[in-house]
Structure 1
Amino acid sequence: METPQEHNAIHLTGRMKLLANIETDTARATWMGDQQAILGTVVIAENQTEEVSARVSGRLDKLFVRNSGEKILKGEALYALYSEELLIAENEYLNALELVQTAESTDQTMVQLLGRAKKRLQLWGLTENQIISLATTRRVDPKVTFYSPASGFITNLKVREGEYVAEGTPLMGIANLSNVWVEAQVYSNELDYLKAGVPVEIEFEGYPGQMFKGIPAFRSPALEKNSQVYLMRYKVLNPAGTLRPGMMAYVSLSGAKVKTLTVPKSALLFSEDTAVWVETSTDQFEMRLVKTGIENKDRVQVLKGLKEGEVVVTSGAYLLNSKNIIDKGATHTMLGM
């Protein structure tokens, strides 16, 4: 009389295995921890943003950036400002420079006057090259171009051309995306997965299969207002600038790990029962019922039905199942059905 294993055993020739694209892996002991995936979002790291404010009062004559998200390099033009105050300061500097250069004898008062006039221009945002150009050409211009103090991406652009701005008015931000934050909300029943200071793996929607390391940067001490979640923030290195604000992220939180027998998740066949195809000998396969436990992104724990070292089918299992239906009949395609 046939045993259940013999009834679900089939034979494939080498050519049939090749056509069916049969691939295998070995049931083996690996470290496995219960995992929980939570959704997160890439946001700009607040400590990586430099605010740009108007250094002097005037009218915004030209904006060299048009939209938030534009890339800017340190030293590139940001905006041009028409300012009567700057015009007066430029004239004061030229007058002091003329006084020093034409005086028969230069006293300390003249030098200090020139130094104060130059310092005022520097405080209002003129670069050394702009001041040198002013001294060389002797031409004042009420419209002065201001340059980016850092490299990054424009954020929160608040002004438009033609607006009048007072000294200190916020104009925009420049975000350095060399590292970013991933913010995620964690429910109270998921707190057991959080370990102080322990990095996590993060996968981003735009880069499937590529794992990034997230370093814990902040955990809210209490529930968020009017909700049942805690805010978590992870720092992720982003040297190439590929991660951009708003991207969706999947944060993997792991529980305590144990060494246990596992197989690839692709080996499992699901019906009323869970089964795998086992290669019992060369070109010989049998279906085996298994009981599974915890799982991670790639592998699943096997509690019953397999032994360490047995070879399981990871690709082509459904074709084996179809051949079994044809060879044995649909009524006994899986044990226990």
Structure 2
Amino acid sequence: MNTLVKTTLAVLLLLGVAAAGYWFGIHAGPAAKEPATAPVARKVLYYRNPMGLPDTSPQPKKDAMGMDYVPVYEGDAEPNGQFGISLDKVQKLGVKSEAAAMRELDTALRVTGRIEVDERRTYTIAPKFEGWVEHLYANTTGQAVGKGQPLFDVYSPELVSAQREHALAQQGLASMQDADDAAKKSMQQLVTASAARLKNWDIAPSPQPADETAGHSTPRDKAVQGDGGQGDEREKQSSISARPHVTFRSPVSGIVLDKKAIQGMRFSAGEPLYQIADLASVWVIADVPEQDIGQVRPGSRVQVGVDAWPGRSFDGKVAFVYPTLDNATRTVPVRMEIANPHGLLKPAMFARARIETGASGKVLAVPASAVIDSGNRQVVLVRLAEGRFEPRTVTTGKRGDDYIQIESGIAEGEQVVTAANFLLDSESNLKAALGGMDEHAGHAATPTATTAAGRPAPAQPVSVGHQASGTLDAINGDGTVSVTHGPIGSLGWPGMTMDFALANPSLVAGIKPGSAISFELVERKPGEYVITRLQAQHEGH
């Protein structure tokens, strides 16, 4: 009996232990496995706008409606148009960025022109009587002369006769001290008429002696400082005499632009013998394109540069906008006045003028190097986070010296790439092309090319960038370059000379025409090829 009880108790104890073990196995198992299946924290790359707008932030924030920005984790699928590059490659490319900000653009208009003589400072020496040139003091074209300096002596029988008539009239008036008033008045009229004749010739008549003309109104004309003047000492009129020679003097300080006078020559009345210009102030005549003429206003400040004085600018202002348009060039002449006290600016010099058109308030702007102009659109690369970028098509507005207005496409505060952006753009195009290849390979219905033996033909590699080398012939004014290249096998092109657009003007910075270069072409649209990489080839490479 005791043995049976003991056996029963042992069986029950074993069953209880087994049940307890089963129960603990069910309830304790998940708890033991829980540490091994805990999710690993993922790295947040950046935060994107919850409404899908083109706005990102490296830090958590809320939008205008109070909604939290959505985190984008490492490893998530890249949104359309975005691409990533390793931080090591970003550093090697020398990528730099700057925030888009509101700025006042100091816009300016750059035009070319020519130095010309100020027409208001040009003087012509043309005697109003005929005669002969007896002696020249200024006898070379281009000679500098001062105001009042003798230019030439002339002899004129007609002038001598007029002077004698005036002298006789003066002597007659002086001898009629005891005559009646009517006779004196008649003689005085003769003196006045002869003096007026000389004055009309720009010759000062000889004055009457003060002791002989007391109580009479007589002309005392000063020497005219226009086209000619008197050079001899005034003679006393005690006897009938005339000055046989007259000296013409320069009316202004300047240079002799034209000299037709020759010693001993005979000249006619009104014949121009000298042309003298004062170059203390000169004009710059520039041709402004029709579409830009609305920005030019009289009084606008101007800086002018010439090749003769590199690195130096001459200040002036816009004096006049001509009312006519050149139908052939579609340009309007604009006249600018430039001070030239030292005579450094010479007539007919080629000039480059910068006309300030003024600022028009603050606008959203980015550095000019950030905009990639493909010809049919303008693109900037937005830096979303470290190593992540997104190309954006933007609409540009006014252009300043260093910045460009952005009318749409990006928001204030977004970082745009300012250096090595063309390399990133090439990387973006490459990734897009590889993505297209993967998508093409995923379509099972696409037929596969076969050889004549019925086997699948080897896949042809798709080339996004076409490598070439050649010579940089010229950098054109429209932003393109002229290149003579060798055969390009990936395109099937033979060697030839062509013009290409640049993804960014900084590609040719520091490279002179005539240099051997290597470059990469990308087809932006059918038939349009753009250079995305260009560098000079050095000896030994």
Tell me the TM-score normalized by structure 2. 0.42
Aligned equivalent of 2:282:
180
Deviation at 1:82, TM superposition (A): 1.3
Aligned to 2:316: 213
1:122 counterpart = 2:199 = yes
Give the stretch that moved more between structures: 127-136 or 68-77: 127-136
Partner residue of 1:232?
333
Alignment partner, residue 281 of structure 1: none
Deviation at 1:216, TM superposition (A): 4.2
Partner of 2:296, secondary structure, is coil
Alignment match, 2:163: 90
Residue 254 (structure 2) aligned to one of 135, 152, 173: 152
2:266 to 133, 155, 164: 164
1:203 is aligned to 304
Offset, 1:145? 0.6
Task: Tell whether the 8 Å contact from 1:49 to 1:176 is kept in structure 2 after alignment.
Answer: yes
Return the alpha-carbon distance in structure 2 between the equivalents of residues 90 and 6 of structure 1: 98
> 8 Å contact 2:254–2:279 — kept in the other structure?
yes
Question: Shift of residue 53 of structure 1?
Answer: 1.6
Per-residue CA deviations over 1:52-90 (Å, capped at 9, x if unaligned) read 221211012233323444333332222211111111122
Contact 1:182 1:235 in 2 (8 A): yes
Residue 112 (structure 1) aligned to one of 189, 192, 203: 189
Note the C-alpha offset of 1:40.
0.3
Q: Give me the whole-angstrom Cα distance separating, in 1, the residues matched to 2:253 and 2:293.
A: 40
Q: Deviation per CA, 1:253-276, whole angstroms, max 9, x where unpaired?
A: 5597554556698xxxxxxxxxxx
Q: Percent identity?
A: 19
* Contact map agreement 2:170 2:191 (CA 8 A) in 1: yes
How many angstroms does 1:8 deviate by? 6.2
Asked if residue 58 in structure 1 is aligned to residue 159 in structure 2, the reply is no
2:321 is matched by which residue type in structure 1?
F
Q: CA deviation at 1:29?
A: 5.9
Is the contact between residue 41 and residue 247 of structure 1 (CA under 8 Å) also seen in structure 2?
Answer: yes
* Aligned residues of 1:181 and 1:233 also touching (Cα < 8 A): no
- 1:1-337 matches, within 5 Å, as 30-32=103-105, 35-105=108-178, 107-127=184-204, 128=222, 130=230, 133-135=234-236, 139-188=241-290, 190-191=291-292, 194-197=295-298, 199-205=300-306, 206-207=308-309, 208-224=311-327, 227-238=328-339, 240=341, 242=343, 243-253=345-355, 254=357, 259-260=363-364, 296-297=400-401, 299-301=402-404
Whether the aligned pair in 2 keeps the contact of 1:204 and 1:247 (CA below 8 Å) is: no
Greater alpha carbon shift after TM alignment, 26-35 vs 248-257? 26-35
Letter paired with 1:184: A
Relative to total residues, which structure has the larger strand share, 1 or 2? 1
Instruction: Note the aligned Cα RMSD (angstroms).
Output: 4.6
**Are the aligned partners of 1:29 and 1:308 in contact in 2 as well (CA < 8 Å)?**
no
Q: CA deviation at 1:296?
A: 4.8
Which deviates the most, 122-131 or 155-164? 122-131
Partner of 2:235: helix, strand, or coil? helix
Deviation at 1:112, TM superposition (A): 2.7
Q: Secondary structure at the match of 1:202?
A: strand
Q: For residues 308 and 77 of structure 1, what CA distance do their matches in structure 2 show?
A: 72
Separation (CA, whole Å) in 2 of partners of 1:228 and 1:69: 33
Distance, in Å, in 1 between the alignment partners of 2:404 and 2:104 is 10
8 Å Cα contact 2:297/2:318 also seen in 1: no
Structure 2: how far apart are the matches of 1:105 and 1:5?
A: 117
Higher relative CO (CA 8 A, sep ≥ 6), structure 1 or 2? 1
User: Match of 1:332?
Assistant: none
The CA distance in 2 between the partners of 1:158 and 1:5, in whole Å, is 77
Residues 82, 261 of structure 1: alpha-carbon distance in 2 compared, 3 angstrom cutoff: same
**Alpha-carbon separation, structure 2, partners of 1:172 and 1:308:** 67
C-alpha separation in 2, matches of 1:165 and 1:51: 15
Larger deviation: 64-73 or 88-97? 64-73
The structure with the largest alpha-carbon Rg is 2
> Which residue identity is paired with 1:113?
L
Unaligned 5+ residue runs, structure 2?
Answer: 1-84, 93-98, 205-221, 224-229, 370-390, 420-531, 534-541
Residues 124, 134 of structure 1: alpha-carbon distance in 2 compared, 3 angstrom cutoff: farther
Q: CA deviation at 1:133?
A: 0.9
Is the 1:82–1:143 contact (alpha carbons within 8 Å) kept by the matching residues of 2?
yes
Shift of 1:39: 1.2
Shift of 1:238: 1.6
2: CA distance between counterparts of 1:145 and 1:239?
30
Q: Residue type of the partner of 1:175?
A: A
Change (3 A) 1:230 1:192: closer
In structure 2, what is the equivalent of residue 322 of structure 1?
none
Structure 2: distance between partners of 1:30 and 1:134: 75
Question: Cα 1:8–1:136, aligned 2, differ >3 Å: closer, same or farther?
Answer: farther
Structure 1 segments unaligned to the other structure (5+ residues): 11-25, 266-289, 314-335
